[in-house]
Each structure stands twice: as C-alpha cells, then as structure tokens.
Structure 1
Amino acid sequence: MKSDRRRFLAASASLALPAAAAEPDFARIREEFPWTGKQLMLNPAGWHPMRKEAIAAMHRYLEFKLYGPGEGRGEHAAGHQEEARRLFAQLINAAPGEISFVQSTLMGENLVVSSLGIPGGKWNVVTDELHYEGSIYLYKSLEKQGLDLRIVRQRDHRIDIRDVERVVDRKTRLIACSLVSYLNGFRADIKALAGLAHAHGGYVYADVIQSAGAVPIDVRDLDLDFCACSGYKWLMGDRGLGFLFVREGLQGKVARRLHYGDRQFSDFRYHIYPYDPPGPYPASWKVRAGAGGLFEVGNIANVVAAGHASNLRFILELGVPRIQAHARPMVERLRKELPRLGYPGLTPDGTPTPISAFVVEKPDVLRAKLKKANIDTKVEWNQMRVSVSVYHNNADIDRFLEAVS
C-alpha cells in the first residue's frame, strides 16, 4: 500500500505545469483533473475539482501524520501554512502580514463587520442584490438589531455606481459586495466603490471567492480595505480554510481584535515554577504582528493548507490572465448560443468573468436533461449558472449545448 501511494505521488508530480515562460498545454492540464473522465463538470463556481498534484501534496502531509518524520516527511509537518499565506498574498498583491487564515469567506466577512463595531447605533451599511446569499442573511439579521441597511437594486443585471452614490453618506461605515457575483458573474467596480466609501469616511469589503484564481485581483490598485475568500472554488482546493485580507494601516486601529487565542502570540513563558526566568505573573509572551495576530485564534487544517499551497503555486505559475484567456472563448460561446436555445441571459455583455447565468422556464426538465447527459452545472430557482475553468475545452461546450437543446 505504501509503495502504491509513492507511485501515485510520483506520477502526479510528473504532471506539473511546465515553466511559466512556456505556452501552457491545457490538454495536459486537463489530465490533472480526473473528474473530467467521469463527468462533465461545468460548476467550478460551486466547487472546483481538485488537481492530482494538490491531492498528492495533501497525502505528503498525511504521510507525515502516519509515519512520522524521516525520509523528508518532516518538512510537511505544518502543512505549508505560511507558504499558502505568502502565495495568496502574492496572488492579490498584498503583504503576507495582511493575510489571516479564516474558516470561510463568510467568517471573514463576519470578522470585518464585527471589528468595525457594526451594527452600532450610528452607522449604516450599503450592499446590493448581487452579493452572496449568506451575506444578505448576515446584514438582514443585523438590521433586526438596529442596523440601518441599504440594499442597492440591480439594473440590467448589474449594479450601477450611480445608484450606490444615492445611498452612501457620512454615516456609511461599510460598503460590502462581491467582486464577482455568484448569481450571474457580474464584476463590481470595486475601485469606484472604494473611492466612494473613502470619500465619506467609510470602508469597503469585497467577497472574492468567485474571483481569486479566476480574474486578476490587485488590492492596491482597487484600494480595497478588506476582502476574503475560501479555497474550494477557483483556488481549486478543499473546504474549511480561507483567507482574509486586512489592509495594514487598519490593523489594530480600525479593525480590532475580537477573540483571543494561541495563534496570536509567540515565545510564551511561565514564571511560576522553579528555575523559570523572572517575569510578570503568571506568564509572558510576545504578541504576533499582522492580520493573523489579530484574527486567528486556534488550529487550522494543515491538510487543507497543503493543498492550497500546491494550487496557489500552480495558479501563479500558469498566471490568472492565461486562465482567463483560456476560458473566454468558451464563455462567449455559451453567452451567444444559450439564448438562441431558449435560455435568456442574466450576465451583462462584456463581463470578463468565467461565470454566466441564464433564465430557465422549466428547471425540472433541464435537470433531467443534464442528468441523462451526465453533466453537472448549477440549476436553482429558475436560473442556470454555467462556469468554465482550466480543465474545459470546446468539446465540453459542444456536449453541453447538445444536451440542453
């Protein structure tokens, strides 16, 4: 069994992407996703299939847990946590000290909201209809506690900055939205929203789970204050571990510590036993700097971090612009052909994201067609959402269009 696992790890490593300077071989990349041989999966916006090499990286950590140190296993003991933090920071042009691990995207948003003192009695929060469902629940729940909540309606399947301007004022504490909407793929004008929030003394938060790894993100250029995402969508990892960005200048000043735990300090020393060094009773420690020192509390999932680190290396080496360019022709084809087949589009023209949404008159009929063709895409309410990633090709789009026609 052990030798079989080693052969699997070696085979997976041999499929690593060529040097970044080389033109990517997307047929070879497709081989890294065995799901493609079992089912046509057009829902990476829901849960992205994992790469062989990412699973192999997780196995390397688990082999350390199984066999202990030795034969190089000890280097995987921490699950490459700090590498994952550093690589995610690189992906969004942040500093590692601006990244905290969080359980999920929504946990990150909750931490931001609470650290800003929301609901409070004097502020309002501005969000919009295209923000994530869990976030709408969050703010509507806080509204019951006295929050002045302002939800901007969509027009032509997009959020118009002029409509946001009408509801933002000097009491706006936070503008919260999705950089890319999970509903229809619309990309918000975050830079304009940040400028609007800052001009009124407020802050901006972006849910980036549908954008990190799929479209370029530069938190400096966007002037973002906060953003968060999990790793199981376009970062190609597993659930249970995500990232929260907190701009350095806000740490400990605007965004304050809410909970306390052992990931927030180092060099802990007791001063209660014989031969202990002298110091304050009962112990002393050094407080960790950075977003992690503010918001991380206890243990994180090392096995998930190992997969994240592997996937982030892959994404950075391939390059998000290349990922975006690979998906674009297939996305454009879907947006052109599906309305002709009786599925009106819900995604604004020219939207530069891999997510497209369509109206479905009879969702049960469509689900039956997709099941018969062994295709997984999201059909919920009277809408269909189709998403495209690195492992797809034009033959997949042919098969899908034939199935839904």
Structure 2
Amino acid sequence: MNDFESARDEFKALKNMVYLNWAGLGPLPSSAKIAVEELLKNIYEWDNQYVSEAISSLQDGAKGQIAKLLNTSPDQIAITGTNTTQGIQTAFEAIRPKSGESIVTSDMQYVLTEAELQKWRDRGVDIKVVKNRDGVYDLNDFQRAVDKTTRAVFVDSVTWINGYKFDVPELSKIAHENNAFMITDSIQHLGQAKMDVEKSGADLVAGSAQKWLSDWLGLGFLYVRRKVIEELERPYYGYKNTEEPDGGWHTYFTLTDREQFPEFKFYSSDARKFEYGGSLYNMPGLTALEKTLKLINGIGMDRVQRRVLELKHELLEGLEALDFEVLEPYEEKHQSGITTFRMGVGRKKEMEVVEKLNSTGYAISYRAGGGLYGIRVSTHYVNNSDDIQSLLGALKSLRAKAGVKRN
C-alpha cells in the first residue's frame, strides 16, 4: 500500500461515496477524529494537567504544521479566528487603506471578501477590478491598474470558480514596484497546490482549514511577512496579543494590588501581533488541523500537487472525450485541483445533474462568477482513478438521459 492509499484509508467518506468537492468542504480523516475525541474526553473528565498543557501545545503544534506547509517559520503565522474572511479582514485592518488610495483586485474574488472590499469602498478607497479573459488573467492588465495610489493588490491565489492559479511572485513584483502590499486569499490553494510563501513575495496570506486541509469549520490563519510586521497596524487588543506580565497570567490574576489600567506590553515583532485578542483558540479545530496537516506534510506538497494534477488530467481527458466544454484554456502552471465545465445541456439541466449526482453517492458543486459558470469538480491527493472514471460514467449516462448526443 503506497502513501496515497494509506492516506485514503483515513477518510471514511471516501468509502461511502465519490467525494470530489474539496473546494467546498473537506471530510475529516480518522486520525483527526480520534485526536478530537481524546481532547473532548479529557475536557469532559477535566484532566487538569492535560487541559493546561493543551492550551499552549495545541496552538504550537498546529502553527508548526501550517508553517511547514507554507515553508516559513511559526512566528510568522497568526491564528485569526473562524475563517479566511476574518484573516482578510485582519490583513486590511493592518494595512488601513486611506480615502483616495486604491485596492486592485480580480473579478473572481470570493463573494464574502467582496463584502470586505465594499467596506473600504464606502470609506473612500477606490476598488479597481481586473477582469478575466475567458477564465484567464493577463498580468499586463494588473500592471496597468496598479499605480502610485495603490495600497494593495489582492487576489484569490487560486480562484474558486474555475481554479485558475495566479503567478503570485510576478503579481508581488508588480505590487512592490509601486510600494503596495500583496495580499492573497489562499483557501483554495493551500493543501492541494504548493505555495512557498517565502518565494511568493506575498506580504499577507490568509487561509482556513475546512476545505483542502480537511479540518472542519471555525479555524482561520494568516501568514505575515516578517519585514512588514512592525510597520502594520495592530487590528485588535486583547489576551492573545498581549505579552504575559511578570510571573505569568495565573500569578497576575491573583494579585490584589494590580493597577486597573497598567501599561500592558503587546507583541510587535511577530505574527501574534495580529491574533484575535480576547479569546482562546478553537482547540478541537487546532487538534484536528495538526493531524490533517501531518498527513499532507508527511507526503510532501510536491508529491501532493503532482498527484492532484495527474487526477485532474485524467478528468480533463474524459471530459474532452465527452465533448464537454472545460473552462480552462490555460497552461499547466496555472492549473489546480479545481476543474469547471459545461455539459452542453443548459445551465438549468446542469444544476439538476449536480443535484442528482449529490443525491446518488457523489459530491460535486455548481459555481458562477466573473462571467463564468459550470459544474465544479475538485480532485485531491486521496482520490483515485476509480473516482474519476465513476464520475465520468455517471455524467455520460445523465447527459444521455437529458437527450443530448455527442457531436
């Protein structure tokens, strides 16, 4: 049994169905389930030593695995709360665009980060949108949009509609040549396509755990490049970004003569500066994430990415044989585990096909944005050829029932 087969055995969902919706949500592996059950058991029974150690060890373990995934150091990783959007909000509060400045973005941003951009637009910041050209982006369009007013270039490093993967290092050069920050929403990137943040040039990279990283909802994180940490604003004030007082918090909580408004010291030289003050971390989420990332990091992102694209190419060959329209007219360096296509039966019937498949043992989705729309399939490292061939067979059968023949 090879590494991919061993990892696949961790996912009960893959024994019950053909799961190809990792761009939506990722099922939990058994090692993560067992670890979370152990955590909850010890909290339920209240093992004092276990709980006390877990509060610090879980955050350190998860940050270490996130840093390994991104090829960076744990002190440049902040846990930002519940999701990627919160990480994006943290990033923009940290750079604080001013009225008269601009943010350059794409027309395939995730919808909830569009809401964040609307907030800054309402404050007088110009939002410049670069449009795709048949699912592809031309860096020259970004070059023309970025100017001396630009505070940040902001993109989904892998788009959620058709999986187009941006050349982040080249975009970063464009941003930095104009003294702008490079910010990415990388939830659709991390775990299925390699991202070396140290080589990417990105200043802030937001992600969360519930998709390709196979954790559950409620845990986001943010990479902050070391050289920009001190110049950025502190978005929040609270327990998690405040330095411990002499003797530690437990001692401080027992003092009877402490000042009501002491001169607290705040973290300023590492990513803890941006952590969500006032709350502890999502302990079950951190527990699961450390385990899921050990699976991915244990295999290595080079091999994971290669496996993801091998399965994607098998899918593309099958879709081409069926004469389906694939929304992917771009070279391999821009490819990811997301594949979006149309069957030629019309949008309404395609959505019915997705509903039918999702009710009969498959998991896929339908997405639209940036003038594009279609059935979205996402292949991951624990999928196999049987999954791809099963889906292709089901699509062929359903199209025949819809009364559309191959040309």
TM-score bin, normalised by smaller chain: 0.7 to 0.9
- For residue 376 of structure 2, give the secondary structure of its aligned residue in structure 1: strand
Q: CA offsets, 1:206-259, max 9 Å, x none?
A: 111111111111111111100010101111111111110111221231x21122
Deviation at 1:127, TM superposition (A): 0.2
Q: Distance in 2 between matches of 1:336 and 1:134?
A: 34
Q: State the number of aligned residues.
A: 378
Which residue number corresponds to residue 134 of structure 2? Answer: 156
Q: Distance in 2 between matches of 1:333 and 1:346?
A: 16
Deviation at 1:284, TM superposition (A): 5.2
Deviation at 1:358, TM superposition (A): 1.0
Which residue number corresponds to residue 241 of structure 2? Answer: 264
Which residue number corresponds to residue 105 of structure 1? Answer: 84
Q: Of residues 335, 339, 343 in structure 2, which corresponds to 1:356?
A: 339
Q: Of residues 282, 285, 289 in structure 2, which corresponds to 1:308?
A: 289
After superposition, the Cα gap between the structure-2 partners of 1:122 and 1:344, relative to the gap in structure 1 and judged at 3 Å, is same
Conserved in 2, the CA contact under 8 Å of 1:64 and 1:76? no
Amino acid at match of 2:374: Q
Q: Distance in 1 between matches of 2:239 and 2:50?
A: 28
Q: Distance in 1 between matches of 2:355 and 2:376?
A: 16
Q: Of residues 12, 16, 35 in structure 2, which corresponds to 1:57?
A: 35
- For residue 159 of structure 2, give the secondary structure of its aligned residue in structure 1: coil
Which residue number corresponds to residue 18 of structure 2? Answer: 40
Amino acid at match of 1:370: L
Q: Distance in 2 between matches of 1:83 and 1:378?
A: 33
Deviation at 1:73, TM superposition (A): 7.4
Deviation at 1:77, TM superposition (A): 5.1
**Does 1:115 pair with 2:102?**
no
Q: Of residues 327, 350, 360 in structure 1, which corresponds to 2:308?
A: 327
Conserved in 1, the CA contact under 8 Å of 2:96 and 2:233? no
More helix by share: 2
**Does 1:402 pair with 2:380?**
no
Which moves more between the two structures, 182-191 or 322-331? 322-331
Conserved in 2, the CA contact under 8 Å of 1:81 and 1:309? no
Deviation at 1:79, TM superposition (A): 6.4
Deviation at 1:170, TM superposition (A): 0.8
After superposition, the Cα gap between the structure-2 partners of 1:80 and 1:301, relative to the gap in structure 1 and judged at 3 Å, is same
Amino acid at match of 1:353: S
Conserved in 2, the CA contact under 8 Å of 1:64 and 1:77? no
1:332-343 to 2 correspondence within 5 Å? 332-343=313-324
Q: CA offsets, 1:281-320, max 9 Å, x none?
A: 6545443342123332122210110001111222111111
Conserved in 1, the CA contact under 8 Å of 2:358 and 2:364? no
Which residue number corresponds to residue 110 of structure 2? Answer: 132
Conserved in 1, the CA contact under 8 Å of 2:241 and 2:273? yes
TM superposition score normalised by structure 2: 0.86
Deviation at 1:113, TM superposition (A): 1.2
- For residue 375 of structure 2, give the secondary structure of its aligned residue in structure 1: strand
Deviation at 1:333, TM superposition (A): 1.8
1:6-405 to 2 correspondence within 5 Å? 24-69=2-47, 75-76=53-54, 78=56, 80-102=58-80, 103-118=82-97, 120-253=98-231, 255-265=232-242, 266-267=244-245, 268=249, 276=257, 282-283=261-262, 285-289=264-268, 290-297=270-277, 298-347=279-328, 348-350=330-332, 351-360=334-343, 361=346, 362-371=349-358, 373-381=360-368, 382-405=373-396
- For residue 104 of structure 2, give the secondary structure of its aligned residue in structure 1: strand
TM superposition score normalised by structure 1: 0.87
Q: Distance in 1 between matches of 2:111 and 2:363?
A: 21
Q: Distance in 1 between matches of 2:8 and 2:140?
A: 42
- For residue 263 of structure 1, give the secondary structure of its aligned residue in structure 2: helix
After superposition, the Cα gap between the structure-2 partners of 1:365 and 1:264, relative to the gap in structure 1 and judged at 3 Å, is closer
Which moves more between the two structures, 257-266 or 77-86? 77-86
Which residue number corresponds to residue 13 of structure 1? Answer: none
Structure 1's unaligned 5+ residue stretches are 1-22
Which residue number corresponds to residue 401 of structure 2? Answer: none
Deviation at 1:340, TM superposition (A): 3.7
Amino acid at match of 1:292: R
After superposition, the Cα gap between the structure-2 partners of 1:272 and 1:320, relative to the gap in structure 1 and judged at 3 Å, is closer
Q: Distance in 2 between matches of 1:202 and 1:231?
A: 28
When the two chains are superposed, the root-mean-square deviation of aligned CA atoms in Å is 2.4
Conserved in 1, the CA contact under 8 Å of 2:139 and 2:171? yes
Structure 2's unaligned 5+ residue stretches are 397-407
After superposition, the Cα gap between the structure-2 partners of 1:372 and 1:65, relative to the gap in structure 1 and judged at 3 Å, is closer
After superposition, the Cα gap between the structure-2 partners of 1:121 and 1:286, relative to the gap in structure 1 and judged at 3 Å, is closer
Q: Distance in 2 between matches of 1:294 and 1:349?
A: 37
Deviation at 1:141, TM superposition (A): 4.3
Q: Distance in 1 between matches of 2:355 and 2:66?
A: 39
Amino acid at match of 2:79: F
- For residue 377 of structure 2, give the secondary structure of its aligned residue in structure 1: strand
Deviation at 1:392, TM superposition (A): 1.1
Conserved in 1, the CA contact under 8 Å of 2:84 and 2:208? yes
